[in-house]
Chain A
Amino acid sequence: MAILEARNLVKRFGAVAAADGISFAIEPDSVVGLIGANGAGKTTFINMATGYLKPDSGAIFYQGAEITPLAPRAITHRGICRSFQVPQLFLSLTVRENLLVSAGIAVRHGAGGRIEAQVADSLERFALAAYADKLAGVLPEGIRKLLDIAMALAARPKVLLLDEPTSGVSAEEKFGVMDTVMQAVRPQGVTVLFVEHDMEIVERYGERVLAFYEGRIIADGAPRQVLENPEVREFVVGEHAAH
């Protein structure tokens, strides 16, 4: 059974179709890259899958059960968590306090374990220990991204949606950020969907790639196969085909 499934999702913002009949299914324990130009509908899909936006029509299923009408909080409790393109942190709190809040909420809602142990584990796995007592508001972008993802993982999700995990991160840091994230989530069998504009990242970390264009999926398959698709090369990668 698919762990996450979209069925004929439609979402319009005025004349713009951010989702125009999107359907796909994601198998458990897979890593899927979502690519597409700005406005193609990738983040809109994440927002719909996590309850922030409701589709005009269509439905989203998690482990066979519909989650479309649920609020973000309820979807988190089911097992789907997300990170954000612009990290959503508690800027006046330290890194440790950010993790204490996220782990505390997770433990309170049945994630199990001890809060302090979870925080220590997150600090180590995401290489955040050196920043533990720094305010989140003063962190470099790469560390903010890692903290944002570490907080999302605190609820021990089965599906993790990453919205542009390397945007704003320097070219030197981007693989380090992704390696740290993958080493943290893959041993737990977490299914990962990540939105990404960097095709090197997509090719290296994605097992499957979905290419979005104007609210539709124009290619779906292995990274190499999708990135060589002429439509993807023209509309997503930006390479115009020779005429």
Chain B
Amino acid sequence: MSDRTARALVLALAILLVAGLVLPKWAISLAIISLGKGLVVLGMMLLMRTGLVSFGQGLYYAVGAYAVGILNQVYKFSDAMLMVAAGALAAALIALVLGALLAGYRAIFFAMLTLAFSMILYGLLVKSSALGSTDGFNVDARTLAGIPMGGGASYTLYAFASIAAFLGAWGLHRYQGSLLGRIAPAIRDNELRVEYLGASVRAVVLLNYVIAAVLSGAGGAIVALAVGHIDPEMAYWTTSGEFVFVAILAGTGSVAAPFLGSALFEAIRTVAYQYSPYTWQMVLGAAMLAVIMFLPSGLWSLFERRRARP
């Protein structure tokens, strides 16, 4: 790994793995959820670089989680790695179908259609008693690639989530440096010119949509394993809105930004809920306003400014 971002990601992974050995259980749990949701926001970041905002990423987040739930409860699978891989695969397959339709839409039409699809899934889950209806159901992984692990937020799951987040961020970093990755901001700027240069905008949009779905599916599966419970709220529009919130909070300047934003979001929410249980949303709203007013390019712009300073 020769470039600076890759080295920083390796360092971040090492710090995470070491820190996990001394962190209390509640912090481990919070960190796994942040890493899982960070993966979803990482996918959102790719879509935003392509000029698209999805208000329905909760769909794939829920698909990943429910793939874990179904494999665990119905088919009695208990290996975390296998179930997360299945969650990502299920999300990819659904994204291939829905993405073929969505790739022709832009701006508010794309955003609203993604929202509509996620709400359709929410409706199906709520009405499906076989999948636990509004209550959802519990999930429990006992092994990770054959290695025994404790249920819920164990260090093993934390380490796995850290490695998954590292691989997601590093993979996306590599992708962004490739030709297809470079076409994404070109599409955002001027898709007519991209077509005139000979590339298929539709194909690139579909590919990025599927990648975002895979990351969301994996993220949903990891969060499901950490929380030990899944329910239809994961597909609800407020969950998707939360991912948009974190993406704006974090900014799109680096593949590390979604994880930083996600961790900060979870920390603010936890503290706000503890001290102000009835008005915690107001605290989040104020945080968002502050970011939009003082850091319009997101939290990551703080690091970019520092780097740009002579």
- B-contacting residues of A (Cβ < 8 Å)? 50, 71-73, 76-77, 81-82, 88-93, 97-98, 100-102, 104-106, 108-109, 115, 151-152, 154-155
Contacts of A102 in B (CB 8 A): 197
Interface residues of B (CB under 8 A from A): 179, 182-183, 185-186, 188-190, 192-200
Per the bound structure, the CA–CA distance linking A91 and B309 in Å amounts to 24
Shortest Cβ distance from residue B251 to the other chain A in the assembled complex, whole angstroms? 14
Q: How far is A104 from B177 in the complex, measured between Cα atoms in Å?
A: 12
Cβ contact within 8 Å between A93 and B185: yes
How long is the Cα–Cα vector from A115 to B179 in the complex, in angstroms? 10
CB distance from A29 to the nearest CB of B (A): 23
Q: How distant is the Cα of A199 from the Cα of B186 in the complex, in angstroms?
A: 35
Beta-carbon contact of B195 and A73 below 8 Å: yes
Is the pair A90, B193 in contact by a Cβ cutoff of 8 Å?
Answer: yes
Find out whether the CB atom of A73 lies under 8 angstroms from the CB atom of B200.
yes
Q: Is the CB of A101 within 8 A of B198?
A: no
B190 to chain A, nearest CB (A): 6
Contacts A/B (CB < 8 Å), 30 sampled: A72-B195, A73-B195, A73-B198, A73-B199, A73-B200, A88-B190, A88-B196, A89-B190, A89-B193, A90-B186, A90-B193, A91-B189, A92-B188, A93-B185, A93-B186, A97-B182, A100-B179, A101-B179, A101-B182, A104-B183, A105-B183, A105-B199, A106-B197, A108-B199, A109-B198, A109-B199, A115-B179, A151-B193, A152-B196, A155-B197
Roughly how many angstroms separate A91 CA and B190 CA in the complex, as a whole number?
8
Among candidates A91, A92, A101, residue contacting B197 with C-beta atoms closer than 8 Å: A101
A residues within 8 A CB of B189?
A: 89-93
Instruction: Give Cα A105–Cα B193 distance, bound, in whole angstroms.
Output: 12
The reply to whether A88 and B193 contact each other, CB–CB distance below 8 Å, is: yes
On whether the beta carbons of B185 and A106 are closer than 8 Å, the reply is no
B298 CB to nearest chain A CB (Å): 15
Chain B residues within an 8 Å CB radius of A50 = 196
**Interchain CA distance A82-B189 in the complex, whole Å:** 18
Q: A69: shortest Cβ distance to chain B, in Å?
A: 16
Chain B CB count within 10 A is highest, among A73, A89, A93, for: A73
Q: How many angstroms between the C-alpha atoms of A64 and B162 in the bound complex?
A: 59
Q: Is the CB of B198 within 8 A of A88?
A: no
Contact check, A92 vs B185: say whether CB atoms are below 8 A apart: yes
Contacts of A92 in B (CB 8 A): 185, 188-189
Instruction: Report the bound CA distance from A37 to B196 in whole Å.
Output: 26
A31 to B185, CA, bound (A): 35
Whole-angstrom CA separation of A50 from B198 in the bound complex: 11
User: Which residues of the other chain, A, contact B192 by a CB distance below 8 angstroms?
Assistant: 88
Contact, CB under 8 Å: A90 / B195? no
Which of A88, A89, A104, A155 interacts with B182 by CB under 8 Å? A104
Cβ–Cβ < 8 Å partners of A97 in chain B: 182
Cα distance, A155 to B199, chains bound together (Å) = 11
Q: How far is the CA of A43 from the CA of B231 in the complex (A)?
A: 57
A101 touches B196 (CB 8 A): no
Q: How far is the CB of A81 from chain B (nearest CB, A)?
A: 7
By a CB distance below 8 angstroms, the chain A residues around B196 are: 50, 72-73, 76, 81-82, 88, 152
In the bound assembly, the distance between CA atoms of A201 and B168 in angstroms comes to 54
CB <8 Å contact, A77 and B198: yes
CA distance A77 to B186 in the complex (A): 19
Chain A nearest Cβ from B243, distance in angstroms: 23
Does A76 contact B198, Cβ atoms closer than 8 Å? yes
Known: A73-B198, A105-B197. A90 touches B179 (CB 8 A): no
B197 adjacent to A108 (CB under 8 Å): no
Asked if A101 contacts B195 (CB within 8 A), the reply is no
Contacts of A91 in B (CB 8 A): 189-190
| Minimum distance in angstroms from A82 CB to a CB of chain B | 7
Cα separation A166 to B9 with both chains bound (whole Å):
47
Q: Which residues of A contact B183 (CB under 8 A)?
A: 101, 104-105
Of all chain A residues, which has the CB nearest B178? A104
Q: How far is A115 from B197 in the complex, measured between Cα atoms in Å?
A: 14
B201 nearest CB neighbor, chain A only: A73
